């Protein structure tokens, strides 16, 4: 899969009983030979610290997670975070732009459903994209 390697470290904070969490936090890193940092629940302060301390490169979340991370007053630099993927619902354009600006990390929006294991389509990871869309 283009752009991902065995050097990637995925943060697993989505529920693993749901296909989005299982596929993006367990199956995909396993396929790559990468690693997964597992948290048992989503606590914004803990997630921010783990993104820094564990060298996480890929974070997959839902819009409410991104919203809560934005409410943090901490100005954090994630030294290795390359991408954040948002799914499960539509993320607001304001939160997407604010997250990317505050944390210097692009958010890739996607659409999927459990029956499709779970990703159907994503905005391009590199190149032209249309915010609040999963197509160009």
Average pLDDT, the chain: 93
Q: Is it true that domain 9-122 has CATH number 3.40.50.980?
A: yes
User: Is there a contact between 98 and 91 (Cβ–Cβ < 8 Å)?
Assistant: no
Tell me how far apart the terminal alpha carbons of the chain are, to the nearest angstrom.
20
Of residues 82 and 131, more confidently modeled: 82
Q: Where are the domains of the chain?
A: 9-122
62, pLDDT greater than 70: yes
Task: Give the pLDDT mean for 74-101.
Answer: 94
DSSP states of 14-65: S-TTSHHHHIIIIIHHHHHT-EEEE-SS--HHHHHHHHHHTT--EEEE-HHH
């Amino acid at each position: 899969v283009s752009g991902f390697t065995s050097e990637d470290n995925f943060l697993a904070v989505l529920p693993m009983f749901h296909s989005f969490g299982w596929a993006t936090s367990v199956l995909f890193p396993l396929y790559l030979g990468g690693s997964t940092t597992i948290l048992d629940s989503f606590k914004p302060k803990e997630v921010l610290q783990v993104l820094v301390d564990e060298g996480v490169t890929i974070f997959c979340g839902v819009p409410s997670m991104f919203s809560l991370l934005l409410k943090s007053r901490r100005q954090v630099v994630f030294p290795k975070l390359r991408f954040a993927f948002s799914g499960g619902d539509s993320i607001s354009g304001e939160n997407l732009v604010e997250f990317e600006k505050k944390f210097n990390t692009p958010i890739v929006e996607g659409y999927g459903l459990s029956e499709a294991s779970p990703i159907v389509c994503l905005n391009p990871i590199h190149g032209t994209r249309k915010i609040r869309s999963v197509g160009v």
